[in-house]
Amino acid sequence: MLRVLRPDDFEDFQRLRADALVRHPHAYSASPGEDAASDEDAARARLAPTADRFIVGAFRLGAMVGMLGLVRLRPLKLCHRASLWGAYVLPDLRGQGLAKSLLRLVLAEALRRPGLEQVTASVYADSAAARQLFQGAGFKRWGVARQAAKVEGVYLDEEHYELRLACNLRHEVAAFEHAPAGDIWRGE
């Protein structure tokens, strides 16, 4: 099951986010000890969906197994843009289309936000699966930040991607919302 998360998903969110940061320290800017998800009040506030931010989660047998967030940029001059963050799927469920379904749901929700025209994503250059996910969804690479992060003494380049929410994407998302069950990860 895929859905937008709520504050009462805090425990599942915190567990999955900690797993992501520990298993893949090279994939995220945050580190386990400094992540906002470790602060319960901040994380619960972050889990309350608003017009400017939300997180979608995938659930299997009652447990959260994947997530992806979107946050709209501020100030006013930038609010036509939003950024994806925190993409993660448990390792034993990868390769089944779950990340693609999470992304499609996020984009469907993004299209419901008035004035939102562009979604961006940043990927460390060694994250081949994330790069493939975004490129497969039509995101275009627009730049690279050299040595953007340093993890355990290793520099990582960060690739930047964008997707313009055009009319054809609106049609594609509408098709997703009416897709046969076999085309969407259900987590049964």
The reply to whether 59 falls in a domain is yes
The reply to whether 188 falls in a domain is no
Q: For 107-120, what is each residue's pLDDT tens digit?
A: 999 999 999 999 99
What is the CATH number for 121? 3.40.630.30
Q: For 65-76, what is each residue's pLDDT tens digit?
A: 999 999 999 989
Number of folded domains that form the chain:
1
Non-local CB neighbours of 67 within 8 Å, separated by 6+ positions: 5, 13, 16, 17, 55, 56, 57, 58, 86, 87, 88, 102
| pTM given for the model | 0.85
Residue with the two structure tokens 């999470």? 102
The reply to whether 163 falls in a domain is yes
Range of the structural domain that residue 102 is part of: 2-183
The reply to whether 28 falls in a domain is yes
The gap from C-alpha 47 to its chain's centroid, in whole angstroms, comes to 13
